[in-house]
């Protein structure tokens, strides 16, 4: 049996950063996000021997390793982590393909983890729910592989859709209740722009966590602002009142200002050039997706000036990524 799976990328509107331990465990965190129609795909094909052969179409690269290999320093560590934690004992060819580049700031590595766990869950009939798949993906990335980051990406990829997620000792995922008209209008006003640059989330998160460890007052205030923004965004979307959407855009800006205060590495001259240019031509608010440093800008535009904003971003080297919201999370099927 050949199994194929896909898990979506996510865009986070507000609250990102408050989903990181130990902050969220001790103070609670929350994020409002949605998934989009860009995915990571996994194809799982059994082998006759006991080896794992990985091939990434995007990287045009791969490797073969023995089951039980825990050398996570030489690449493709997510695959090794999943296979070790799930205690996979059979050999497989695993093919992966991503519709967005690595380091996009949109949770791609977690989408990969979720898609891979989902494929094995289907193949072996493990009976894991989407919530348990997301939790396993988190445990593999953060505990087994010791990769820094929060909880939101794994749960967004597994569940899919427009959600308000709360983080403490456990994770609670609540679908946003609103109208099709509100969602359609929000989507129309958004622009996703790839600006390039390096995306070293681990370095940034080290600095962010240091602010928490020393109980820096400005850090705690910024984190509270991020949570307040997420709650207010949820309120606006659930009113189903499109006339309030401009306030949603302004809240994205407020959240971006709060997030930038957490680390000197979150933004740089290139990012600020793109953002200030977009603001000049009709953007109410925006943010860099992910930890910072590079990747994609999510921008909320005046609908009457959207095309002008896009023109100006392209002029200075931006690449516009057309997308639609995707209500589905992890999907798995056999061939």
Catalytic annotation, residues: 153
Q: Alpha-carbon distance 93 to 156, whole Å?
A: 27
Q: What is the dihedral of CA 110, 104, 320, 311, to 10 degrees?
A: 140
Do residues 315 and 147 touch, judged by C-beta distance below 8 A? no
Residue with tokens 């009709």: 282
Strand partners, 240: none
Q: Which of 61, 145, 68, 86 is nearest to 110 (CA)?
A: 145
| Token pair belonging to 139 | 């445990």
* Angle of CA points 29, 33, 36, to nearest 5°: 150
Q: What is the DSSP code string of 239-275?
A: HT-GGGHHHHHHHHHHHHHHHHTT-TTS--HHHHHHH
Strands 163-167 and 61-66: unpaired
Q: Alpha-carbon distance 218 to 267, whole Å?
A: 17
Do residues 189 and 307 touch, judged by C-beta distance below 8 A? no
Residue with tokens 């949570």: 227
């Amino acid at each position: 049996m050949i199994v194929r799976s896909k898990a979506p990328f996510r865009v986070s509107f507000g609250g990102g950063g408050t989903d990181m331990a130990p902050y969220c465990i001790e103070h609670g965190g929350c994020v409002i996000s949605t998934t989009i129609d860009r995915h990571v795909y996994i194809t799982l094909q059994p082998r006759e021997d006991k080896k794992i052969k990985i091939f990434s179409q995007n990287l045009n690269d791969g490797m073969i390793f023995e089951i039980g290999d825990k050398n996570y320093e030489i690449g493709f560590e997510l695959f090794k982590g999943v296979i070790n934690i799930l205690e996979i004992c059979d050999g497989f060819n695993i093919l992966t393909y991503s519709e967005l580049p690595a380091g996009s700031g949109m949770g791609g590595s977690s989408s990969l983890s979720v898609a891979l766990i989902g494929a094995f869950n289907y193949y072996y009939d493990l009976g894991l729910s989407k919530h348990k798949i997301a939790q396993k993906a988190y445990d593999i990335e953060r505990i087994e592989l010791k990769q820094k980051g929060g909880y939101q990406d794994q749960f967004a990829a597994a569940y899919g859709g427009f959600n308000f997620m709360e983080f403490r000792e456990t994770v609670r995922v609540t679908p946003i209740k609103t109208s099709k008209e509100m969602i359609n209008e929000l989507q129309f006003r958004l622009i996703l722009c790839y600006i390039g640059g390096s995306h070293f989330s681990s370095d940034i998160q080290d600095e962010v966590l240091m602010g928490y460890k020393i109980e820096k007052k400005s850090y705690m205030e910024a984190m509270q602002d991020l949570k307040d923004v997420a709650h207010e965004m949820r309120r606006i979307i659930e009113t189903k009142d499109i006339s309030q959407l401009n306030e949603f855009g302004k809240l994205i800006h407020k959240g971006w200002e709060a997030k930038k205060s957490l680390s000197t590495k979150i933004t740089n001259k290139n990012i600020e050039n793109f953002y200030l240019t977009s603001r000049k031509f009709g953007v109410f608010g925006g943010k860099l997706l992910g930890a910072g440093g590079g990747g994609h800008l999510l921008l909320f535009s005046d609908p009457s000036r959207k095309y002008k904003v896009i023109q100006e971003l392209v002029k200075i080297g931006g690449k516009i990524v057309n997308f639609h919201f995707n209500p589905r999370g992890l999907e798995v099927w056999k061939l």
